Amino acid sequence: MGGYSYDELGAIFAMQGFAGISLFSVLLLMALGLAIIFGQMGVINMAHGEFMAAGAYTTYLISSLTETYIPAFMPYYFVFSIAAAFLVAGTLGYLAEFILIRHLYKRPLDTLLATWGLSLIMQQSYRSIFGAREVSPTLPDWLMGAYPATDMIDIPINGMFVLGLTIFTTLAVFYLMFKSSWGLRVRATTQNRVMAGAVGINTKKIDRYTFALGCGIAGMAGAAFTTIASTGPTTGTLYIVDTFMVVVFGGAASLFGTIASAFSIAQAQSILEFFISGSMAKVFTLLTLVIILMFKPEGLFASKVRR
């Protein structure tokens, strides 16, 4: 970092830090969904990235329809598309659970392969429907541009909006899982499935809605994703490995851990990118994570459980 003054370094860190916030938001939303599903049923959802892509394509679709038929609605459509992304991805998740996942509980390695198969099918579906080229929704004007905080630091508005969305979702998930009666039932099922069933909790229903919820949040991540990059059929695959690392590194059961881990991974990636090439930043980040996980396989924030 030889050639930079302290002021410049500060500005670089701040700028890359704000750029990293968008990545952080997408990773966190993806990881929340993945962690909920993994924590609840021990299923690794390899198709999680494709559910994100489902949300992104939904946003694109609504944007195109709005632009064609009700252009006056353009400034507001994005808010609705977030909800639609959640619903579309959630519904797909619900169906996937019903058709596929529920037959494979207690066979985690098999679900891993089956959901990989699902991801291939979803990718090819996107390619057949939307074409192989990447697409982007037309973003409303208020999402574009940046707010100049100092003469060296610009704060991108889309990043702030996505961050707000992420904070809102995280709080909602927290409330749902830890304060609502539904969350209580989910946690009861996670801890002792047989007992939960015996006291009258419909564990199958809980599983299905949990899976749908996880996928729905991935859909919201997809809507957020459209503000930072364009969407292609294989977009999901690019994020799935990073998301796994966020979940594993954070310790699958800890909400705080997931947030902290998404933040550190996104920021490390983003800030390193400025100094070394993007690919080497990724190598460096992932390699550091793998080495840490080799010494501390339970993740950084795993809770202690009596076994």
Partner 1 sequence: MSFVYEKLFGDKKGLIGFCILAALILVVFPVMLDSFRLNLVGKYLTYAFAAVSLVLLWGYGGTLSLGQGIFFGIGGYAMAMFLKLEASSPENTAIQSTPGIPDFMDWNQITELPTFWIPFHSFTLTLIAILVVPTIFAYIIGAAMFKRRVGGVYFAIITQVISVILTVLIVGQQGLTGGINGITDLRTLNGWDITSDSAKNLFYFINCFLLLAVIIASRFILTSKFGRLLLAMRDKEDRVRFSGYDVANFKIFIFCFAAMISAIGGAMFTLQVGFMSPSFVGIVPSIEMVIFAAIGGRMSLIGAVYGTLLINFGKTAFSESFPELWLFLMGGLFIAVVMFFPNGLAGLWEDYGHHITKRFGFINKFFDKSENTADSVELEGSNS
Residues whose CB falls within 8 Å of the CB of residue 122, separated by 6 or more in sequence, listed in order = 47, 50, 53, 54, 236
DSSP 8-state symbol, 104: G
Among the listed residues 164, 149, 135, the one whose alpha carbon sits nearest the alpha carbon of residue 10: 149
44 is a contact residue toward partner 1 (CB under 8 A) = yes
Q: Which of 24, 86, 211, 244 binds partner 1 (CB under 8 A)?
A: 244
DSSP 8-state symbol, 228: T
Minimum distance, C-beta of residue 243 to partner 1, in the bound complex (Å): 10
300 is a contact residue toward partner 1 (CB under 8 A) = no
Q: For partner 1, which is the closer residue by CB, 162 or 248?
A: 248
Look at residue 154 and give its three-state secondary structure.
strand
Report the distance separating Cα 254 and Cα 34, nearest Å.
12
Q: For partner 1, which is the closer residue by CB, 175 or 275?
A: 275
Among the listed residues 218, 278, 282, 277, the one whose alpha carbon sits nearest the alpha carbon of residue 247: 218
258 is a contact residue toward partner 1 (CB under 8 A) = no
Q: Phi/psi of residue 253, each to 5°? A: -95, 0
Q: Between residue 105 and residue 124, which ones bind partner 1 under the rule CB under 8 A?
A: 107-114, 116-121, 123-124
Per CB under 8 A, the segment of 3-11, 18-26, 146-154, 240-248 that binds partner 1 is 240-248
Report the distance separating Cα 237 and Cα 118, nearest Å.
12
Q: Between residue 46 and residue 105, which ones bind partner 1 under the rule CB under 8 A?
A: 100, 103-104
The residue ranges that bind partner 1 (CB under 8 A) are: 42, 44, 100, 103-104, 107-114, 116-121, 123-124, 127-128, 237, 241, 244-245, 248, 277, 279-280, 282-283, 286-287, 289-290, 293-295, 297
